Amino acid sequence: MLGYTKVTWYGYAGWGCLDYFVEQPGRYSFTEAFHANYHALIHRLERNFPGSEKVELDEKGRPKQRFKMSSEARKRGLGPRDAMGLLFDRDIVAFYGDPAWEARMAEGKRSYDQKLEIKDQKYTFHINPNLGEASFKPVNTNGAQRGWRPIVHFLPNRVKNIEIIEGKDLEPVITDNFILIPNPRTCDPSREYKVSFTAEKI
Mean pLDDT along residues 177-202: 97
Please tell me the distance from the alpha carbon of residue 31 to that of residue 102, in angstroms, as a whole number: 8
- DSSP letter string over 94-162? EE-S-TTS--BPPP---SEEEEEEEETTEEEEEEEESSGGGTTS-S---STT-S-PPEEEE-SS-EEEE
Q: How high is the pLDDT of residue 78?
A: 94
Parallel, antiparallel or unpaired: strands 2-4 and 93-95: antiparallel
Mean pLDDT along residues 181-196: 97
Q: Is the pLDDT of residue 60 over 80?
A: no
Please tell me the distance from the alpha carbon of residue 135 to that of residue 130, in angstroms, as a whole number: 6
Q: How high is the pLDDT of residue 127?
A: 98
Q: How high is the pLDDT of residue 24?
A: 98
Q: How high is the pLDDT of residue 67?
A: 82
Q: How high is the pLDDT of residue 111?
A: 98
Comparing C-alpha atoms, which of 181, 86, 75 is closest to residue 136? 181
Q: Is the pLDDT of residue 86 over 80?
A: yes
CB 30 within 8 A of CB 21: yes
Domain ranges across the chain: 2-95, 112-201
Q: How high is the pLDDT of residue 195?
A: 98
Mean pLDDT along residues 181-187: 97
> How many CB atoms within 10 Å of residue 159?
20
Comparing C-alpha atoms, which of 74, 61, 75, 72 is closest to residue 10? 61
Q: Please list, in sequence order, all residues whose beta carbon lies within 8 angstroms of the beta carbon of residue 86, skipping any fewer than 6 positions away.
A: 10, 12, 41, 44, 45, 49, 52
Q: Is the pLDDT of residue 36 over 90?
A: yes
CB 147 within 8 A of CB 155: no
CB 111 within 8 A of CB 140: no
CA-only gyration radius of the chain, Å: 17
Tens-digit pLDDT profile for residues 157-167: 999 999 999 99
Q: What is the mean pLDDT of the chain?
A: 94
- pLDDT higher at 91 or 62: 91
